[in-house]
Structure 1
Amino acid sequence: GWWCWIIPLRGGNVSAGIVYDSRLFKLADGPNLGERLRAHLLSHPVGAEIFGNAQIIEHDVHAYSALPYSSKKVCDDGWATVGDAAGFIDPLYSPGLDFCSYTSYFVADLLARNLAGEDVAESLAYYNEQLPITYRLWFETLYKDKYYYMGDAELMSAALLLDVGTYFIGLVIPVYRDPEREFLHLPFEGRAGRVFGGMMKFYNRRLVALAKRRLATGCYGRRNAGWRELYDGFVPDARVRKLIRKGLFHWWRAELTNLRLILTPGAKNRAPSSSTATSTAVAAPL
């Protein structure tokens, strides 16, 4: 139910932080927030290797809760919001740059046409209607309950390959081919966008369901030890299909494991609670 970022900074400092779902994880108690974060980082082999001798920079450790927000209205006559001003979901996958690119390009084009004397009422209506839809589908396809399976290597690997693969197929490749056209159409637009979003929501819901059964039966993370995957890299061409196929293989193999758990006599059937999600971020330079 958590993930960490580690970002080297100029001068030898390192920005480190943790984002977690408060339904599933609690940061251990400690004398102060910095020590709590440091203790968590050192509990992981990678963190221990990097931060074993690190010193916390005092008064530069911060925590934020309930990170996601959205806007029901994003523009009107004379004003428009773009990027994180219009909404924020989760820093995983760094979606802020995508929202910034699409919304800034669209609003810049709208502003230029308005200054040229064009009637932009239709564009304003489209932006107000489509951006909340884009935000909602982006959340439901990529982030809703994702932290349930984040700690299971097989399930998270399937999600990573499918999430990033479909991102390249649906957004990156079209933008590379015709950026001026694509940036004027927000993601998940129209019937095709909703169908595509529906497929992504389906596999995400299935991965969540698989994770909950694994948690209930004590099988969560059984493949984690020794799990290693090296990818060729995601590139904006047909080669990305190979990685999507690999993601589908991981998912379908997990479905077979789930079927065995269902058919196993005496398997527990205790589902985790489903309270409201709250994302929390703790960050510090070390």
Structure 2
Amino acid sequence: MKNSSVKIRDYRTQFIQELTPIYDAGEAESFFYLIAEEKHQLKRIDLALHPDLVFSETETVVWNSILAQLKQEIPIQYLLGKTSFYGLDFEVNENVLIPRPETEELVAWIIRNNLKIEKFKDLKILDIGTGSGCIAVSLAKHIPNAQVFAIDVSEKALATAHNNAHNNAVNITFIKQNILETEDLLQEFDVIVSNPPYVRNLEKEEIKKNVLDYEPHLALFVEDNDALIFYKKIAKLAQKNLLPNGKLYFEINQYLGKEMVDLLEKMNFKNIELRKDIYGNDRMIKGEISN
């Protein structure tokens, strides 16, 4: 595309055409409108009502740069620097995973299970491996009076999570800590939740290029021969640091649902529940500490 003034509707057609070898047309079109709204506050209806709107030469240069990066399959969330999760806006960058719809289901489950008891006492919630803070921030926003704590090993991820807490007006205590080197959490919680690294190296071929090449591997992958390393450690800490009737929630590898049930059963968790996500995959599990 030439760097000159161009009608937006014409640019839109070319934009979609250039991306369709990589993305389907619907996804490419959604990218166009996401960028138009973020960069120009233009909604689809605005462009329909004003078909003669143009991009200036400078604006076209910016769009061409974004288009080139999309062709490299850099996630659009990173290009825009933000995404939406559970009705809230989150800053995202190369230091944190992009929040997934499946994780929203985990958050919804925790909120449903705990709102009914929130009125009787202040809940203490711990999110382990917080990343962007999407789980911790969403829980703090939707469970009033909860005390929320969040751990991550990455200082850069914690900086992003702290920004997201501030931008969404919630108070969270952030802690830089390597959970695999932690022997005691030093206080007790009503809820411990984690979406830890769980993709085995053998599953890399299933991972899309935009994830594999650009999202942080530290937050994604585990060794094939010890795929449950984080779950074992966190469940062990939960045994020690959950209050009576406390609940442990995990997002899990879809192929390891049975192994996760076995793990929690062997560690004497009660009321274990394995749930599928919107795509029909085993994706989340809950266990409880008995009285």
- Which structure dedicates a bigger proportion of its chain to strand? 2
> What TM-score bracket applies, with the shorter chain setting the length?
under 0.3
Q: Which has the higher contact order (CA 8 A, sep 6+)?
A: 1
- Which structure dedicates a bigger proportion of its chain to helix? 1
